[in-house]
Chains A and B, each alone.
Chain A
Amino acid sequence: MVPLSWYLIFSAALFSIGLFGVLSRRNLIAILLGIELMLNSVNVNLAAFWRYGDVTNITGQVFAVIVFAVAAAEVSVGLALVISVYRKRNTVIADEIDMLKF
């Protein structure tokens, strides 16, 4: 039997790799890829807690399914914004999109 802590450490590692991607990639799409990894690590946690808790209590899976919906919404809007930005400014490099400072 795989111990619960392995799952948690695995998901922590996945989360940290995603976090690194979000913090360090220049390309906006790559940043979104990192976010996907982070969301997945959350789902791993939810599924693991479901399996190692009371399996008849399905809450963990419900949450995971809702995370799927949130991820879908997030990625669709995020990529749409990237495409829109690309169309207006002809770049998807995060550093070059710095209108926030004005």
Chain B
Amino acid sequence: MSSWVYIGLFLLVGLIIPVGAIVAAWVLAPKKSNPIKQTTYECGIETVGDSWVQFKAQYYIFALVFLIFDVETVFLFPWAVKLNSLGMFAVIEGIVFILILIVGLVYTWRKGMLEWV
């Protein structure tokens, strides 16, 4: 039997327990809602405008850099697993791989695109 069955069971249990807790609270807790209770919390001040405000592009850029490096590490994990048995050539390949990506990081850094403001 695949070990993934256990992972599936874990997912199941991991869902059941929080759901159970929340359902229990839903059963036990009083429900006396009114419009004031349901207003958006903004330190007592009336909400102005739409909550879903537009964000700055910088969020996207950090997510982008993250994505690229994330995929890179995905490539590096199989490399790391086999590193001990593959010898020097594989090490050099990995280093070249990382260096190429560092070039990208340095570029974005130098061009001032990693600044938050």
Contact = CB atoms under 8 A, between A and B. Distances in A.
A97 interface: no
A83 B57 contact: yes
Contacts of B67: 72, 75-76
A83 B74 contact: no
Interface in B65-107: 67-68, 70-71, 74-75, 78
Interface string A50-84: 00000000000000010011001001100110010
Nearest to B60: A83
Contacts, number: 22
Contacts of B57: 83, 87
A79 B60 contact: yes
Contacts of B64: 76, 79-80
A65 B74 contact: yes
Contacts of B78: 65
Interface residues of B, number: 10
Question: Which of A68, A72, A87 counts the most chain B CB atoms within 10 A?
Answer: A72
B23 to A, nearest CB: 33
A76 B74 contact: no
Interface of A: 65, 68-69, 72, 75-76, 79-80, 83, 87
Q: Which 8 A-B pairs have the closest CB atoms?
A: A72-B71, A76-B64, A69-B71, A72-B67, A76-B67, A68-B71, A83-B60, A83-B57
12 contacts: A65-B78, A68-B74, A72-B70, A72-B71, A75-B67, A76-B64, A76-B67, A79-B60, A80-B60, A80-B64, A83-B57, A83-B60
